A and B are shown apart, each in its own frame.
Chain A
Amino acid sequence: MSDSTVSGVAGEERDDFSRDESRQIRRRSLRLLGSLVHPLRARLALSIVVVVISTVSQVAGPSIIAYGIDSGLPALLANDWMPVGLAGLAYLLAGVLGAGLIAWFTVLSAQISQAILFDLRRRVFLHTQRLSLEFHESYTSGRIISRQTSDLDAISELLDSGINQLVQGVLYMVLTAVALFLLDVESGFILLVALVPLAILTRWFQVRSQRMFRRTRVASARLIVRFVETMTGIRAVKAFRTQKADAAEFAGLVEDNREANAKVIRLFGIYDPGLVLIGNVAVAVVLLAGGFRVIDGGMEIGVLLAAVLYTRRFFDPMEDMAMFYNSYQSATAALEKISGVLEERPSVPDPEHPVDLWTSKGAVEFEAVAFGYVAGRPILPEFDLDIPAGQTIALVGSTGAGKSTLAKLISRFYDPTAGRITLDGIDLRELHPKDLRRAIVMVTQEAYLFSGTVADNIAIGRPEASRDEIVEAAKAVGADEFIRGLPNGYETDVNKRGGRVSAGQRQLISFARAFLADPAVLILDEATASLDIPSERLVQEALQTLLADRTAVIIAHRLSTVSIADRVLVMEHGRIVEDGTPDDLIAGTGRFAQLHASWRESLV
């Protein structure tokens, strides 16, 4: 499977699948659909019973009319009200039953489809969270967003009205055909013959439209990617006056999307009148053949009327079904893409048999670890490193030396390509993810804020924390003062991407998060870069108490951090070139002594 050209999200931008690839994709999305429907099968069965009964009642209509005319009229002429009364009553009963059950079915099927949607939304969301950073970095956020928004919309559209109409429509047609056969076999055969061109037309449409529908999904995903990017980067867009060029490019994507949609619609323009044509020809034939039989005395007029009504009604739902085939196709295309994302396996998988680690001491060890993002291009050649519990390490070196990569390995954003990393002697890959995340926390330079209040954002460190604990954490990192100065204090909404809070303040909030999380191992990757010097000083102070009893790895270009480190590692080209206490290294003549000297100069 994994080496297939279309497994996971591979080949997502294509629409020219071979027969095998198509089958593989279809099977995958059907499997997904099956697993979504499975838990709801009881409800589904009930709703089918409901819709069958209601459709039977609806289909009975013309037969009752036929009976009313053929038996009721002669009887009434003989002053017998019984048959016509019966017919009227039956018609009323059928009407009430049919309508009531249809209404019930509508609600039932909404409950089912909403349950399916909820389940699917949840699955995609969870899976997206589970997928490793590697996936996110290559797949782009716009595409994963479009999977969870417009693709889910397409499926929801189908489930909302489509399935409902489809089930009803198909049943209506089948039962109508059955009724026609029961009423008059010959007319039934005429309808049967009409099914042949119907099937051919439908097959033609299906084949032609499938590729078009895939194309519409791809086009709409591209559109979303561009849209999201413009809106999130609006400051740069404005400052560099790219509006015109962007708008032109966006218009191109809109046009692609429009054309893809228009092509689909044009196919419908042939399919839909084709259906009507077949239906109307069938009506004419039924009428002609039936007319001759009425003249011959082989058929009653009421039966002829019913046969014509049935034939006409048989084709009635077709137009709607064609419309719903539309949503069916876009939903299938969407499901194909979603099932692809769900098929992606995280490159940093959760362990099958997780090892629990209730309280971690925080000893981290690298054993013959090597790492590279791309095979054959190692970022970190094989190395060993032992970080005893409680030690504070400063990781220094020039940009691109591999410091952040090392940090990402400890926090298991990536797994090493060789060797193993252990926490308290347990391989990170075997640790229960919950325990891993409780034990090891990383704070990065980019301090992302989620919509909600400042307090909510700090609480991400430990969702069950009380307000006092949140305030305590903020105080500890020196964020309390500015937070209290905000319009609503801790209850201030941080808005979209922290628009109102400065970069430095955001970093303080994200520090408070880490403080609240209270991990055994804390990794700070350039987490103070945007702070002003007084804030940095406060944070340094806080760190001294915070780090006293825990392991820490601090990456900072400002070497002030070194003052609180027990040990300094200097990295160059993916290798640790110096390792020692700050005093020893500064006193020496190595790389660190140089760095430290030039940093000291930069302070004046």
Chain B
Amino acid sequence: MPEPTNPQSAVGTVAVLSRLRPYVREALPRIYAAMVVSLVASAVALAIPQVLQFMVDGPLADGDAGQLWVAAGIVLALGVLEAVLIGARRALVLTPGTHVEARLRNSLYRRLQNLPVAFHDRWPSGQLLSRAVSDLNLIRRWLSFGLVLLVVNVLTIVGGAVILIALNWVLGLIFVAAAVPVILYSFSFERKYSDVARRSQDQTGDLATSVEESVHGIRVLKAFGRGRYALKRFESQAEELRGTEIEKAKAIAGIWLYLTLIPDLAFGVCLVVGVWLASTGQSSVGELVAFFATGTVLLFPIWSLGYFLAMTLDAKTATLRFFEVMDSENTIVDPEKPAEAARGRGELVFDDVHFRYQDAPASFPDLVDGVSLTVRPGETMALVGLTGSGKSTLTALTTRLYDVTGGAVRVDGVDVRDLALDDLRSRIAMAFEEATLFSRTVRENVLLGRPDATEEELREALDIAQASFVDDLPAGLDTKVGEEGLSLSGGQRQRLALARAIAARPEILVLDDPLSALDVDTEALVEAALRRVLATTTALIVAHRPSTVALADRVALLENGRISAVGTHSELLATSAHYRFVISSFDSPEVPTTEEVSR
């Protein structure tokens, strides 16, 4: 689970939100313009009551009908102007908001693509999803509404207060004095709300993770009839989120209480005082009318402060969460000056390679603990060892899915860290033990590593992997694979993944137990075809079976993160007891061999 970068209270809301600047820069002029426009709109709205005062003290008192037309005409003109200005504000700010959201989303996606596998191991994907969707959506809405209206409403209230004081300084000051407790309360609200908002968004991410797992692990849940069990887990998380949300509502209710109560109290006092002032002649009825009309114009901006404040704090949390990903250190990047190594030979060297996970306890030995191994150009090397001995990890180091923590991996004499990532990964093609297929067509899946391959090359790769079953699919090569290839069998998926690695035409093939799900006959056919490719390509193959080992020129035996022996299959059979233990089915006395059974 990711660790929050820093405690909430230490970071000011403004400081956090201003980190969005680079993404918002292009939209900023329009946002500022929108603020100015809506400020003018507010000013117009505030001007209307002043016309009222003029009316009450002028034409209404004098009975001048002609003046009345003028006054109503001004009110109408101001009203139309206000509508036009509001339209202008929307036109100005809303489209840019969506552009900012799109920009943020694309950057997040690209960042996540480039962050190392170790990052993805650590972060539940639901947390990433909730950032990419909900959080960015929040930021957009804040930029489009919250930011502009918060600023404008605050300015409107300030401007309105000035007008109120100008209309009648006693009444105006009563109104302004009432603002003090509201402002004080806002500070404690900010702290309280920030905290709940963060919890709510994190819990939303956890919930998304549970949803994802329940969908990806549906087969296991069904096989064991554990739908209810998963539901219980999900329910307890949903229950937690519900509690947080209600807590959030209580915080909002608190500020709402202040925001509605206090202006009303001030109004009540103003009413009594105002009428008294009018009765003593210190104020006119028109002034009073204008005062209350102006106050009424201010009511909605005041009430909506709570809403926009909460929205701003939500956006702050969303921004924090966004930057948690963006700020994650990416250690696996292109070198500053990529080496320009000529292609072709395809020599793969492990030189005293060490690897351990960052968060492994210090008492644990390195997972890969000083491996030195040379795969000569054109050679096929099998990597044999017990489950958990570090075979897959070693293969992942070749294309820098992880970086070594000691020593170096070299391709044609160049440290893989000195090659551009794209260059490195086009030299080495991998097939993983878990065949990941994407929900695209079969063709696209196979040509993932080389989209410009010709039809013949595609065919050849499919033939080698014995994947002719694709022609029986409903739309042949253009059949869309269900996500994760669920509708294909394990063996079929494995063969497509193998075809994908072959179609990439790399210098070096790295295959992680590529034939485990194939039946004996198909395996034999694949092996026969694969030999042709392996004759000219350097290869490192993780193998569990003698039949796979048979493809290799030499075998490296991995034992507790170290190479304990290298040689041909028969050499190792003859010299290494551990090798016999790992690879041979015939030397265990406890299990009756098939020979005994068949007797």
B235 and A122 contact, CB distance less than 8 A: yes
B521 and A603 contact, CB distance less than 8 A: no
Q: A231-B120, A305-B52 are in contact. Are A502 and B223 (CB under 8 A)?
A: no
A70 CA to B170 CA, complexed, in Å: 21
Shortest Cβ distance from B242 into A: residue: A114
Contacts of B227 in A (CB 8 A): 126, 129-130
Q: Count chain B residues whose beta carbon lies closer than 8 angstroms to a beta carbon of A.
A: 192
Contacts of A236 in B (CB 8 A): 432, 436, 438, 448
Q: Does A281 interact with chain B (Cβ within 8 Å)?
A: yes
Q: What's the least CB distance linking B556 to chain A, in Å?
A: 15
Binds A, one of B204-212, B316-324, B455-463, B532-540: B204-212
Instruction: Report B553-584 residues with CB < 8 Å from chain A CB.
Output: 581-584
A399 CA to B494 CA, complexed, in Å: 12
B223 and A444 contact, CB distance less than 8 A: yes
Q: Does B71 interact with chain A (Cβ within 8 Å)?
A: yes
State which size class the interface on A falls in.
35 or more
Shortest Cβ distance from B583 into A: residue: A533
Query: Most chain-A CB neighbours within 10 Å: which of B75, B122, B269?
Result: B75
Q: A84-B272, A496-B125, A559-B520 are in contact. Are A128 and B215 (CB under 8 A)?
A: yes
Q: Mark A243-258, 1 if CB is under 8 A from B, else 0.
A: 1011100110011011
Contacts of B267 in A (CB 8 A): 61, 65, 91, 95
A136 and B98 contact, CB distance less than 8 A: no
A505 CA to B387 CA, complexed, in Å: 7
Q: What's the least CB distance linking A338 to chain B, in Å?
A: 13
B449 and A240 contact, CB distance less than 8 A: yes
Q: Does B91 interact with chain A (Cβ within 8 Å)?
A: yes
Known pairs A69-B285, A239-B449, A532-B582 / 8 extra A-B pairs, C-beta < 8 Å: A68-B271, A121-B238, A145-B129, A239-B429, A292-B65, A557-B523, A595-B521, A603-B545
Could you show 16 A-B contacts with beta carbons less than 8 Å apart? A107-B249, A107-B250, A145-B208, A149-B211, A160-B249, A236-B438, A265-B98, A268-B90, A273-B87, A287-B72, A301-B60, A323-B145, A460-B221, A504-B544, A530-B516, A595-B521
A292 CA to B65 CA, complexed, in Å: 7
A517 CA to B229 CA, complexed, in Å: 14
B268 and A250 contact, CB distance less than 8 A: no
Shortest Cβ distance from A396 into B: residue: B519
A448 and B219 contact, CB distance less than 8 A: yes
A251 CA to B105 CA, complexed, in Å: 9
Q: Mark A97-108, 1 if CB is under 8 A from B, else 0.
A: 011101110110
Contacts of B590 in A (CB 8 A): 537, 541
A603 CA to B543 CA, complexed, in Å: 13
Q: Does A466 interact with chain B (Cβ within 8 Å)?
A: no
A499 CA to B392 CA, complexed, in Å: 11
Q: Does A442 interact with chain B (Cβ within 8 Å)?
A: yes
B524 and A254 contact, CB distance less than 8 A: no
A140 and B432 contact, CB distance less than 8 A: no
Partner of A98, one of B71, B260, B288, B482: B260
B264 and A301 contact, CB distance less than 8 A: no
B293 and A309 contact, CB distance less than 8 A: yes
A397 CA to B489 CA, complexed, in Å: 14
A211 CA to B404 CA, complexed, in Å: 53
Q: What's the least CB distance linking A530 to chain B, in Å?
A: 5
Partner of B224, one of A142, A281, A312, A461: A461
Instruction: Report B231-254 residues with CB < 8 Å from chain A CB.
Output: 231, 234-235, 238-239, 242, 245-246, 248-250, 252-254
Q: Does B198 interact with chain A (Cβ within 8 Å)?
A: no
Shortest Cβ distance from A320 into B: residue: B304
Q: Does B502 interact with chain A (Cβ within 8 Å)?
A: no
Q: Does A587 interact with chain B (Cβ within 8 Å)?
A: yes
Contacts of B586 in A (CB 8 A): 603
Q: A563-B592, A602-B520 are in contact. Are A145 and B220 (CB under 8 A)?
A: no
Q: Does B475 interact with chain A (Cβ within 8 Å)?
A: no
Q: What's the least CB distance linking A404 to chain B, in Å?
A: 6
Q: Does A548 interact with chain B (Cβ within 8 Å)?
A: no
Contacts of B134 in A (CB 8 A): 149-150, 153
Contacts of B128 in A (CB 8 A): 227, 231
B285 and A73 contact, CB distance less than 8 A: yes
Shortest Cβ distance from A232 into B: residue: B125
Q: Does A234 interact with chain B (Cβ within 8 Å)?
A: yes
A580 CA to B97 CA, complexed, in Å: 71
Contacts of B11 in A (CB 8 A): none
A487 and B225 contact, CB distance less than 8 A: no
Instruction: Report B266-289 residues with CB < 8 Å from chain A CB.
Output: 267-269, 271-272, 274-276, 278-279, 285, 288-289
Contacts of B425 in A (CB 8 A): 238-241
Binds A, one of B14-22, B78-86, B370-378, B405-413: B78-86
Q: What's the least CB distance linking B401 to chain A, in Å?
A: 6
Q: Does B479 interact with chain A (Cβ within 8 Å)?
A: no
Q: Mark B80-116, 1 if CB is under 8 A from A, else 0.
A: 1011101100110011011101100110011011100
Q: Does A313 interact with chain B (Cβ within 8 Å)?
A: yes
Shortest Cβ distance from B140 into A: residue: A261
A254 and B102 contact, CB distance less than 8 A: yes
Contacts of B229 in A (CB 8 A): 460, 463
Q: Mark A152-194, 1 if CB is under 8 A from B, else 0.
A: 0100000011000000000000000000000000000000000
Q: Mark A523-557, 1 if CB is under 8 A from B, else 0.
A: 00010011111110100110000000000000001
Q: Does B216 interact with chain A (Cβ within 8 Å)?
A: yes
Q: Does B56 interact with chain A (Cβ within 8 Å)?
A: yes
Shortest Cβ distance from A499 into B: residue: B121
B482 and A161 contact, CB distance less than 8 A: no
B519 and A312 contact, CB distance less than 8 A: no
Query: Most chain-A CB neighbours within 10 Å: which of B239, B257, B518?
Result: B257
Q: What's the least CB distance linking A534 to chain B, in Å?
A: 6
Q: Does A16 interact with chain B (Cβ within 8 Å)?
A: no
Instruction: Report A398-446 residues with CB < 8 Å from chain B CB.
Output: 398-400, 404, 411, 413, 433-434, 436-438, 441-446
Q: What's the least CB distance linking A456 to chain B, in Å?
A: 9
A497 CA to B546 CA, complexed, in Å: 29
A265 CA to B93 CA, complexed, in Å: 10
Instruction: Report A547-604 residues with CB < 8 Å from chain B CB.
Output: 557-560, 562-563, 582-583, 586-587, 595-596, 598-600, 602-604
Q: Does A15 interact with chain B (Cβ within 8 Å)?
A: no
B436 and A141 contact, CB distance less than 8 A: no
Q: A231-B120, A323-B145, A398-B522 are in contact. Are A445 and B517 (CB under 8 A)?
A: yes
Q: Mark B29-59, 1 if CB is under 8 A from A, else 0.
A: 0000000000000000000100010011001
A73 and B399 contact, CB distance less than 8 A: no
A245 CA to B110 CA, complexed, in Å: 11
Q: Does B226 interact with chain A (Cβ within 8 Å)?
A: yes
Partner of B581, one of A125, A399, A411, A534: A534
Q: Does A451 interact with chain B (Cβ within 8 Å)?
A: yes
Q: Does B147 interact with chain A (Cβ within 8 Å)?
A: no
A524 CA to B59 CA, complexed, in Å: 94
